[in-house]
Amino acid sequence: MPVINVCDVDHGGTTRRVNLPVGTTIQCYIDRKKPNFTADNYNVRVNESKVTNFHQELGEGDRLTFARSKLAGA
């Protein structure tokens, strides 16, 4: 099972290792872990590159990062 690193700024910005089934896409991960996700509210990156295709499969060692595009109160 591939292991990816997920950094979610909503949860303190800590990176955690996540085991995902082979063939898991970014959209599948979002559907399971971030039910209130809207692309307009987040900057999503894989290995420091902005995600434009949410159907991209995640691979071993990938780093998936979620950061709010606008912080509340800013």
Question: Does 8 score more than 80 pLDDT?
Answer: no
Neighbours of 1 (CB within 10 A): 9
In the chain, domain spans: 3-68
Average pLDDT over every residue of 8-31: 82
Q: What pLDDT does 22 receive?
A: 84
Residues 43, 67 contacting (CB under 8 angstroms): yes
Q: What is the pLDDT of residues 21-71, one digit of tens each?
A: 888 999 999 998 888 888 888 889 999 999 999 999 998 888 888 888 876
Q: What pLDDT does 41 receive?
A: 84
- Superfamily of domain 3-68 in the CATH hierarchy: Beta-grasp domain (3.10.20.30)
Question: Does 19 score more than 60 pLDDT?
Answer: yes
Q: What pLDDT does 74 receive?
A: 56
